[in-house]
Chain A
Amino acid sequence: MAVSVTSPFIQVLNTHAETLTNLVEEGRKAMGYFCHYTPVELIHASGLIPVRISGGPGDVEMAYNLAPDFICPYMKRGLEKALAGNYRFLSGLVQGYTCDIACGMANVWADNIEGDLFHILPLPYEDTEKSRRYLHVEYSNLIGKLSDLGGNFSDTSLSRSLELYARIRTHILDFYQRRFEGKLPLSSSELWQVIQAGFVSVPETYLDMLEDLQVELDKLSIPDPSGVPVLISGSLIETPDILDFLESSGGQIVADDLCSGMRSASTSSGSSSDPMERLADLHFNRFPCPSRSRAEDRLPLIQQLIEQSGARGVVFMFQKFCTPHLSDYPFLSDQLKASGIPSVMIELDESWQANAQMGTRLEGLFEIIEG
């Protein structure tokens, strides 16, 4: 496997806090967010660096003074890190409304973590002329709040940011297309490192890194496929070790609809001359999260991914206590089974540790698929 080509991305993941702290000390501002429904292009167009909060594997102690233990690992660990001071470089948090916990935790952060702005964007669910008008007002509100922090927004800056993030998405989706065709010389964990690095980088720098990576990938040979091809469905995966574990158990990840994976890039804007309208397009065209959609909306998209990738099974990899995903799971697994695609559901806690039981269940799925 090509290890060296992803070294810059690993470096970013290991040092981003220091990098961002230095940038803030030099006068830049950084704004945290939880979910992809947050309009990062608008934050960037205002001159701030959008930074996705990460949880990662670890213990939870301080966070239990503020939140119950029956919420997802991502939120618990994110709060734990914030309480430990890991996010001192942030000016605050902006959250595009998704699930109850993300909304509630944005408010918990507002009460307990230092910052100048904590804002929840109440997003519409339906794409209509009236909802877009409403959304434009919400965007304007956010622009005003970012401006109070020293942000410098303009339609021109938004057009530039939209273009920048579009180019980033093009590269990410190209990697996925290569994987569909069996031509991506990166393991699943390496692809994970590449994508996660984008959440904590200055986007201009990240684009340069992606362009360099494309050049390097063309030089590499494609390894022979091995393992039972599967799609992973879920929210965030916060350690690449889990992906390695799955693949060492006999699977081969050929597709995902993870919000830390393909869903982070799966959206598009139209061709309106109004950049705010193109921003609204990105919201409504997003590969939906179950917190904002019906399972019936996601099923055909998942089935399309299965077809494109040649996946023969689905591993539902959920964070423990994730209501949106757990609620949709019975319908999705039944429908997939009816169409000949077996699945297994695995839940992970804040340790993000694979264990023998998980291995047994995965191996069981792979055996079923191989018949």
Chain B
Amino acid sequence: MEKTRKSNKRLQTAKELSRVVADYYQECGEAKAEGRPVGWMPPMNGAIEIFYAMGLQPVFPENWSPVCAAFGLTPDNFEVSEGMGYSRDLCGYLRNIIGYVNGPIDDPSFPLGSLPAPDIILSPGGGCIPVMKIFHALERRFPEARVLTSDMPQVAVEDIQEHHIEYAVEQVNQLVAFLTKVTGRKLDMDRLSAVVQLSDQACALWDEIMTYRRFIPAPFSAAEMGIMFVMVTRQGTRIAVDFLEKVLAEIKERAANGIGVIENEKIRLFWDNIPLWYNMGVFNYFEKMNGVVVAETYSAAWSLRLDTSSPIRALALKSLMSYPLVSCVSIKKRREMVLKACRDYHIDGVVLHRNKSCVPITLGQMDIKRELEETLGVPSVIIDADHMDERNFSTAQFQTRIDAFMETLLAKKQARR
């Protein structure tokens, strides 16, 4: 087993992903060349729809990190940031991005044309600490960029009250006012409505796509999870909707014809925490023992249905909910989601990725593990790894633990027959 490996993809549409990704980054570069303002922002918030509605170009440094990992470029970026004094114990996204912007960002040979420098930085006062600190570092690196600090309180999803939403709406309005002042562009509310409708449509498609993973055999696995790229970068655009409609059509056909990821699917798995972006091939590893990862935590973060009759409020709520839903801000909600997924997707076992680079998602896993056993009788295994830094991933440990886990699951399944 290799330390870094791309995944084997079965979906035709997933194979087209490289074009989708390339088109997006080309558009980012073209925006800069055309003088269209480029804004760097964290993911998981309602600013993306605002940007598209105002004809601005959103760029997501956090999303760029998996791209760097896929191209095997993170070690070079780590060398830069760690050389600057950033500890190896810090989040891999943080070390990668800070290394990238202080290292190869201006290298013309960098894959996908590299990222265009920001004209605008949306700096979060909310979300996780590493994301906050990434943007502080970006403010230092790009002093010419205009900065807006957003103030989105971190509230557990189940505790959100009207005053939280009102405050979040205020933040969205502040964002719009800031962008208008800085770019001279006004937000057309009809245009925003259309964008929010497209965003909601993409979420509806995404949710429908995910329901097909309940089929036995599952028509696609976490190995194809790159398709969520459009949910991260293109929400609010026709591009996302068109791509997801194609994905849905392909998956429907596979499900209708009983075409699974593998011929003899015996074990259905759930993956908790962020994938290993440098080794999406781990999702294929289970297949040699007839296992398929049919559901995961991470994909749930990108789909939140929006009330299109009230676009600003809908985006405010999206900004409030997205991060807490998958992190330790809402361990209770997170636990409910995992258990529901295990029921809905007929899960035999759960792989808990104890992720050195992401404590907010790792904290609470032991409570989830316990609940899985006590409530559902679903066994789980812990894998110690890192979503960005392959130095924290041991293939030997992974293989040993997974092999034993799969044997246990297969034996348990056999005994039930």
Residues of A within 8 A of B (CB): 65-68, 70-71, 97, 99-101, 103-105, 107-108, 111-112, 120, 122-126, 130-131, 134, 137-138, 141, 291-292, 294-296, 320-321, 323-324, 326-331, 333-334
* Chain A CB within 8 A of B9 CB: no
- When C-beta atoms are compared, the residue in chain B nearest to A124 turns out to be B151
Q: Given A100-B128, A104-B328, A125-B126, do A320 and B89 touch, yes or no (CB 8 Å)?
A: yes
Partner of A104, one of B90, B133, B167, B359: B359
Contact B153 A104 (CB under 8 A): no
- In this complex, the member of B84, B125, B332 whose beta carbon has the largest number of chain A beta carbons within 10 angstroms is B125
Q: Given A70-B356, A103-B154, A326-B89, do A294 and B331 touch, yes or no (CB 8 Å)?
A: no
7 further contact pairs, Cβ within 8 A, besides A68-B365, A320-B89: A66-B367, A67-B363, A104-B329, A124-B151, A294-B139, A321-B359, A323-B130
How far, in whole Å, are A124 and B137 apart by their CA atoms in the complex?
21
Residues of A within 8 A of B356 (CB): 70
Partner of B366, one of A65, A122, A134, A326: A65
Residues of A within 8 A of B328 (CB): 100, 103-104, 107-108
Contact A107 B332 (CB under 8 A): yes
* Contacts A/B (CB < 8 Å), 7 sampled: A130-B167, A134-B166, A321-B89, A323-B90, A323-B359, A327-B130, A329-B87
Residues of A within 8 A of B360 (CB): 100, 104
Contact A291 B153 (CB under 8 A): no
Contact B331 A104 (CB under 8 A): yes
Distance in Å: Cβ of B372 to nearest Cβ of chain A: 14
Contact A108 B359 (CB under 8 A): no
How far, in whole Å, are A165 and B68 apart by their CA atoms in the complex?
51
Q: Given A70-B359, A104-B364, A330-B86, do A111 and B94 touch, yes or no (CB 8 Å)?
A: no
Within 8 A of A (CB), among B42-62: none
Partner of B363, one of A108, A291, A296, A323: A108
Residues of A within 8 A of B153 (CB): 97, 122-124, 134
Q: Given A70-B359, A104-B364, A108-B363, do A327 and B94 touch, yes or no (CB 8 Å)?
A: yes
Residues of B within 8 A of A66 (CB): 366-367
Residues of B in contact with A, size category: 35 or more
* Chain A CB within 8 A of B91 CB: yes
Residues of A within 8 A of B79 (CB): none
Contact A107 B364 (CB under 8 A): yes
- When C-beta atoms are compared, the residue in chain A nearest to B160 turns out to be A122
* Chain A CB within 8 A of B140 CB: yes
How far, in whole Å, are A141 and B153 apart by their CA atoms in the complex?
15
Partner of A134, one of B87, B133, B167, B331: B167
Distance in Å: Cβ of B363 to nearest Cβ of chain A: 4
Contact A330 B367 (CB under 8 A): no
Residues of A within 8 A of B140 (CB): 296, 331
Residues of B within 8 A of A123 (CB): 153
Distance in Å: Cβ of B201 to nearest Cβ of chain A: 31
Contact A112 B367 (CB under 8 A): yes
Residues of B within 8 A of A100 (CB): 128-129, 327-328, 359-360, 363
Within 8 A of A (CB), among B101-132: 125-126, 128-130
How far, in whole Å, are A210 and B57 apart by their CA atoms in the complex?
58
Residues of B within 8 A of A111 (CB): 331-332, 367
* Chain A CB within 8 A of B136 CB: yes
Residues of A within 8 A of B330 (CB): 107
Within 8 A of A (CB), among B313-346: 327-332
Contact B86 A108 (CB under 8 A): no
Distance in Å: Cβ of B110 to nearest Cβ of chain A: 23
Residues of B within 8 A of A122 (CB): 153-155, 164
- When C-beta atoms are compared, the residue in chain B nearest to A111 turns out to be B367
Contact B133 A125 (CB under 8 A): no
Residues of B within 8 A of A331 (CB): 137, 140
Residues of A within 8 A of B86 (CB): 326-327, 330
* Chain A CB within 8 A of B163 CB: yes
How far, in whole Å, are A328 and B140 apart by their CA atoms in the complex?
12
Distance in Å: Cβ of B31 to nearest Cβ of chain A: 28
* Chain A CB within 8 A of B224 CB: no
Contact B85 A329 (CB under 8 A): yes
* Chain A CB within 8 A of B156 CB: yes
Distance in Å: Cβ of A131 to nearest Cβ of chain B: 6
6 closest A-B pairs by beta carbon, nearest first, are: A104-B328, A125-B125, A330-B85, A104-B363, A122-B153, A327-B133
How far, in whole Å, are A294 and B125 apart by their CA atoms in the complex?
10
Q: Given A104-B363, A323-B130, do A70 and B89 touch, yes or no (CB 8 Å)?
A: yes
- When C-beta atoms are compared, the residue in chain B nearest to A334 turns out to be B85
Contact A126 B125 (CB under 8 A): yes
Contact A125 B149 (CB under 8 A): yes
- In this complex, the member of B137, B155, B329, B363 whose beta carbon has the largest number of chain A beta carbons within 10 angstroms is B363
Distance in Å: Cβ of A127 to nearest Cβ of chain B: 10
How far, in whole Å, are A206 and B367 apart by their CA atoms in the complex?
38
Residues of A within 8 A of B130 (CB): 323, 327
Residues of A within 8 A of B170 (CB): 130
Q: Given A103-B328, A104-B360, A104-B363, do A327 and B167 touch, yes or no (CB 8 Å)?
A: no
- In this complex, the member of A70, A130, A320, A331 whose beta carbon has the largest number of chain B beta carbons within 10 angstroms is A70
How far, in whole Å, are A294 and B130 apart by their CA atoms in the complex?
12
Residues of B within 8 A of A296 (CB): 136, 140
Contact B366 A327 (CB under 8 A): no
Distance in Å: Cβ of B77 to nearest Cβ of chain A: 15
Contact A68 B364 (CB under 8 A): no
Distance in Å: Cβ of A336 to nearest Cβ of chain B: 12
* Chain A CB within 8 A of B214 CB: no
* Chain A CB within 8 A of B354 CB: yes
How far, in whole Å, are A65 and B366 apart by their CA atoms in the complex?
7
Residues of A within 8 A of B332 (CB): 107, 111
Contact B87 A326 (CB under 8 A): yes
Distance in Å: Cβ of A130 to nearest Cβ of chain B: 5
Residues of B within 8 A of A112 (CB): 367
How far, in whole Å, are A331 and B89 apart by their CA atoms in the complex?
17
Residues of A within 8 A of B327 (CB): 100, 104
* Chain A CB within 8 A of B362 CB: yes
Partner of A125, one of B89, B128, B151: B151
